[in-house]
Amino acid sequence: MSRTPSEPAPARPLALPPSVPVAAFGVRTGLILPNDDIAAIVADAVGDWIEDGDIVCVTEAVVARSQNRYMSCRELADDIRAKLDLKPGARLAVVSPIASRNRFALVLRAAAMATRGGTVVVQFSLPYDEVGNQVIDPEFARTRLRLKKVYKSLLEARGNTPHLNILIREVVAALVLQQHGFQILAMRKIMGRGIADVTVRDPGGAVAPLEVTFSEVEKAVRQAAALKADMPEATRAYAATVDLARRTVTLYDAATGGAEPAVVGFYPYGDVEEDMRDPEAIAEAEVGEGAFRHPITGVDYRRLYRETILAGGAQAEVFFAENPLKVYDRGYLDGVILGEVHGREASRELFLSFGARVPVVTLDEIGPPPWGVIGSNVSNYDECRLKLLPEDADATAEAIRRAIRERSRKDVEVLIFGDGAYKDPDTGIYELADPYPAIGQSEGLRTVRLRTGLKLKMHVDTLYQQGLSREEIASRLSGARSAGADEVGTTPRNLSSLVATLADLVAGSADAGTPIVVVRGYLPSEGR
């Protein structure tokens, strides 16, 4: 293996003042390329200033690159085809994938290639994927599923109660208009809100009352116009006729209340009427031409994944459902890929417990061991090439630890980190798209499972309120620590996951140019 020089190490130890017992800092290296000696590079980078008890964290990205852990889409497609025994023109389902161009798009393209001109059915969770990426507007999904449940119930009860058609026509109008870009704000009879049959926000952003009828257009127009006058927020008014036999909705401009209202929309719904009856799923046809862009990335993942499948030479079907087994309602399948990272085993058990009708695989079962394509990233999008997680990461961590010992005569622990396990409170995204924050670790870390301690902020408050002095509080806390008192403490957490998450935050997902992070003072002395 080749060895690439790192930037010069400091000439003297990096000493921290006593008031800084715990610290984490990034370390720059030179470029790390395939077949480089990662253990030697890390040992040189931390140099002579490393200290006993430090935890040296290395991002999995450079470890995998040094191991030349790459896979082409063609290689992955061949592996999928073999493991699922797919024939040309196969129909393959991908259930609950993460919504990510970097993390999943090329895996999906390989799946499409594996069908050899077949079809890939993508079932998104709703309204978010496993790690919190929005794949469909939450309000759209919540309203639509509620209306579909009402619609199904009304249809089932209509046989004995014909006048329910009055309610059915309003629900149909709401569902059809929602499909065409209208937002449903209220429904007087169905939701118990609003003064109109339906209150909508049209695609142009105008709030409007909508009155629904079977055939009395002029009456509905007059009623809508009158309601508009009683709604200060309304700037438009609409009327709609619903033909349940021909399955059409006709929309009229009712703002003026005139005798000859203009038709502003004609919407046949026969092609989606069956989907409208399913209260557990939202078909792509029900979404219409609307775009559901991720609020942070601006990506419409429904369209991205459809285009990705087409680029892989297959036909695409996309729908949204929370129940993974809904995929069986989409017709015959030749195989199923479960796209979850953290919930994959539970989903597999669900499919098996209901009697999986076709081969079912998880992401760690396609691609090479030990991880398959879980945690993979795009290496080259145009050439359809993936970077995989490191091979035998624990052994690599041990090799780095030994190299540091030989180079610096220091006893440290080594951790190979991936995504940190934290949830962004602003975006709601759970950043952990890798199987674990700690992909690999040296032996010493594997024996230190949980980090615990006294909840100091609570104990200081309690002791102070009991009248103890500053010195007495300090003495009491010191005694409790040394005695291991059975006091209320912090929530026990996996130490390796905490350190890996800290390293990911410091490294900025390796964007800071510091693929190594040293954590000092975090490892409990009894854990060494």
Co-location of 32 and 147 in the same domain: no
> 143 and 249: one domain?
yes
Query: Given 341, 361, 386, which residue is the final one in a domain?
Result: 386
Q: CB-hemisphere CA count at 13 Å for 59?
A: 26
Q: Please tell me the distance from the alpha carbon of residue 30 to that of residue 469, in angstroms, as a whole number.
A: 53
Q: Where would I find the H helices in 184-298?
A: 217-229, 273-276, 284-287
Cα–Cα distances (Å) from 13 to 46, 54, 357, in that order, read 10, 13, 62
In a domain, 3, yes or no: no
pLDDT of res. 449: 62
Q: In this structure, are 74 and 99 located in the same domain?
A: yes
By three-state DSSP, how is residue 306 classified?
Answer: helix
Find the domain containing 374 and state its range.
Answer: 70-136+292-386
Interacting residues of 469 by C-beta distance below 8 A, sequence separation 6+ = none
Q: Is residue 340 part of a domain?
A: yes
**pLDDT of amino acid 256:** 77
Let me know if residue 167 belongs to a domain.
yes
Pairing of strands 183-186, 450-451: unpaired
* Residues 256 and 333 placed together within one structural domain of the fold: no
Q: Report yes or no on 17 lying in a domain.
A: no
Does 469 fall in a domain?
A: no
- What whole-number distance in Å separates Cα of residue 484 and Cα of residue 490? 13
The answer to whether residue 461 sits within a structural domain is: no
- My answer on whether 145 and 251 are in the same domain is yes
What is the C-alpha to C-alpha distance for residues 301 and 312, in angstroms, rounded to an integer? 16
What total of structural domains would you count in the chain? Answer: 3
Is 429 within 8 Å of 423 (Cβ atoms)? yes
Asked if residue 375 and residue 296 are part of one domain, the reply reads yes
Could you tell me the CATH number of the domain that includes residue 171?
Answer: 3.40.1350
Q: Which of 343, 359, 386 is the last residue of a domain?
A: 386
Kindly report the CATH number assigned to the domain that includes residue 324: 3.40.50.620
Do 277 and 321 have their domain in common? Answer: no
Please indicate, yes or no, whether residues 168 and 277 belong to a single structural domain of this protein. yes
**Shared domain check, 175 and 129:** no
Co-location of 397 and 505 in the same domain: yes
In a domain, 480, yes or no: no
Residues 60 and 92 in one domain: no
- CA-to-CA dists, residue 479 to 458, 470, 472, angstroms: 16, 14, 10
Single residue among 343, 368, 386 that ends a domain in this structure: 386
CATH number for 43? 3.30.1330.100
pLDDT tens digit at each of 528 positions of the chain: 555 545 444 445 677 788 888 899 999 998 999 999 999 999 999 988 899 999 999 999 999 999 999 999 999 999 999 999 999 999 999 999 999 999 999 999 999 999 999 999 999 999 999 988 899 999 999 999 999 999 999 999 887 677 899 999 999 999 999 999 999 999 999 999 999 999 999 999 999 999 999 999 999 999 999 999 999 999 999 999 999 999 999 999 998 777 788 999 999 999 999 999 999 999 999 987 766 888 888 889 999 999 999 999 999 999 999 999 999 999 999 999 999 999 999 999 999 888 777 899 999 999 999 999 999 999 999 999 999 999 999 999 999 999 999 999 999 999 999 988 777 777 777 777 888 899 999 999 987 665 555 667 777 888 888 888 888 877 877 766 544 444 554 556 688 889 999 999 999 755 668 999 999 988 765 444
195 and 228, same domain (yes or no) = yes
Is the residue at 476 inside a domain? Answer: no
Decide: residue 505, CB within 10 A, 0-12 exposed, 13-18 middle, 19+ buried.
middle
